[in-house]
């Protein structure tokens, strides 16, 4: 028999989805500002989807079997799959550049955002809000605090450089040594005939401006600097 939906319950569930989506977008805002692949839309969808699955787990199958018929559906069954399923999405945010791995923090934020969405879907408002505050703190203010603690030393950089010939690598290392740049690990990859890419981890002196380093490397014949990024995430 068709049952008329409880309007008050439907409004409550809709509110849970809206709150979960807003909290997910709040987490994604920090990722968006810092131009990470998974930004506001991705985090919003993760939180919304997790909340929707949780709502369906709790209320979607109530009374399906009828009173006294069979075993009542387990309300945690669908929501439990969110925990494992979100791992596939997080894995897509992790990228490997040579010897370095980036995106672990974004993958972690997606995983935590799914938990926030589940809390919102379950109606645990305080848990969802506090969880959002902790995640945002770990992504933004905590990162600033760590940067302040590291202010007494120069930051390590990861450089990706394209070479038209492998011999140009000697000129690159020579110019870096002339600038008193401390060289770390290095990896070379052949892209094709006469095309190579090297990844360098360096620590420039505090007095050296990044613009100067970029200009010196790009001035070397058959050399193009593709990317500079902090190697400490």
Per-residue model confidence as pLDDT tens digits over 211-222: 888 889 889 998
Q: Is 69 a residue whose pLDDT tops 60?
A: no
Distance, in Å, from the CA atom of 171 to the CA atom of 160, rounded to the nearest integer, reads 15
Flag whether pLDDT at 8 surpasses 60.
yes
Q: Look up the CATH number of domain 157-230.
A: 3.30.70.260
Query: Among 2-6, 59-63, 173-177, 199-203, whose mean pLDDT is lowest?
Result: 2-6
DSSP structure class, residue 17: H
Residue 64: pLDDT band (50, 70, 90) is low
pLDDT of residue 210: 84
Give the residue range(s) of CATH 3.30.70.260 domains in the chain: 157-230
How high is the pLDDT of residue 50? 92
- How far are the Cα atoms of 23, 29, 33, 49, 203 from residue 132, in angstroms, in the given order? 6, 12, 17, 16, 35
Pairwise CA distance, residues 69 & 63, whole Å: 10
């Amino acid at each position: 028999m068709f049952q008329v939906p409880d309007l008050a319950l439907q409004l409550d569930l809709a509110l849970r989805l809206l709150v979960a989506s807003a909290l997910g977008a709040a987490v994604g805002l920090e990722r968006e500002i810092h131009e990470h692949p998974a930004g506001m839309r991705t985090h919003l969808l993760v939180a919304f989807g997790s909340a929707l699955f949780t709502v369906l787990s709790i209320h979607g199958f109530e009374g399906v079997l009828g009173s006294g018929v069979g075993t009542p559906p387990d309300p945690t069954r669908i929501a439990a799959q969110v925990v494992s399923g979100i791992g596939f999405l997080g894995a897509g945010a992790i990228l490997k550049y040579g010897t370095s791995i980036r995106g672990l923090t974004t993958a972690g934020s997606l995983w935590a955002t799914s938990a926030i969405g589940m809390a919102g879907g379950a109606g645990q408002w305080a848990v969802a809000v506090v969880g959002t505050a902790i995640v945002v703190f770990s992504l933004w203010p905590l990162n600033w605090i760590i940067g302040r603690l590291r202010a007494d030393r120069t930051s390590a950089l990861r450089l990706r450089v394209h070479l038209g010939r492998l011999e140009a690598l000697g000129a690159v290392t020579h110019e870096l040594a002339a600038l008193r740049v401390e060289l770390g690990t290095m990896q070379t990859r052949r892209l094709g005939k006469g095309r190579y890419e090297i990844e360098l981890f360096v620590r420039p002196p505090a007095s050296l401006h990044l613009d100067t380093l970029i200009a010196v490397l790009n001035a070397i014949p058959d050399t193009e600097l593709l990317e500079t990024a902090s190697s400490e995430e």
